[in-house]
Structure 1
């Protein structure tokens, strides 16, 4: 490996780790929200919609 005089390689690694640390909680939160929405039961049908369908 070539000597990294300006420490650019180390700095790049730190930046990547920083963005990974930001992205991971965002992905987990998004997955949790999506799972909660997917698992939520459908809202009950309104009574007027059932009465309107019965009239037709």
Structure 2
């Protein structure tokens, strides 16, 4: 899967030095948010193609 030219222009890398407690709190919040994401199992090649070609 490749990134289109438009996507490359809108992406940026950000780095910062933060207190270890702040980092740990952010990691925990991110882990909790990821646990709440819906999961859909893709079982066939068509389901996978449809998932990545969906333009919603």
What TM-score results when the alignment is normalised by the length of structure 1? 0.39
Q: Which fold has the larger relative contact order, with Cα–Cα distance below 8 Å and residues 6 or more apart in sequence?
A: 2
Q: Which has the larger radius of gyration?
A: 1
What TM-score results when the alignment is normalised by the length of structure 2? 0.39
